[in-house]
Amino acid sequence: MKNSQEKTLRLDKWLKIALIFKTRSKAADACLQGRIKVNDQSAKASKIVKIGDTITIKMKWRKRKLDILDIVGKSIKAADAKLLYHEHEMTSEEKEAEDIRGLFYKAASTSRPKYKGRPTKKERRDMEKFRNNNDAVN
């Protein structure tokens, strides 16, 4: 039997087992995009992680910093998966920066048009109605 210090596992497998990502392929894609760092170094999906390593994960507008507390070789319950890592608390400055990034992200996603191309009949009627109301005011 291995000692707890000798336990190792591929990074993408650990991220899936710890339920940080829903699937192993999504974890591997995040590694490929450079959004995952192990001990402050960019990591590939095949990187071997061990107990005590620190993982930094960049999500949409959020950063998570985790310390690996345990490694298991198979999928486990969600309640047990949370015991595999310790998540660092954010400082007040980091929380404020995260809130601002979240607002920018949400604002950018709402300002994009739903689709490209020609407006629908309803949208054309709405535009005509808007133009007519503006002409009446001027």
Q: What does the DSSP assignment read for 71-103?
A: --SS---HHHHGGGEEEPPPPHHHHHHHHHHHH
4 vs 73: which has the higher pLDDT? 73
CATH placement of domain 1-88 = 3.10.290.10
Over residues 23-74, the pLDDT tens digits come to 999 999 999 999 999 999 999 999 999 999 999 999 877 889 999 999 998 9
According to the model, what pLDDT value does residue 94 have?
86
| Type and span of the H or E element at 38 | strand 36-38
According to the model, what pLDDT value does residue 1 have?
44
Average pLDDT over the chain, rounded to an integer: 87
Name the residue ranges covered by the structural domains of the chain. Answer: 1-88, 91-138
According to the model, what pLDDT value does residue 2 have?
53
Distance separating the N- and C-terminal Cα atoms of the chain = 84
Asked if 52 and 43 count as a contact pair (C-beta separation under 8 A), the reply is no
Average pLDDT over residues 93-113: 79
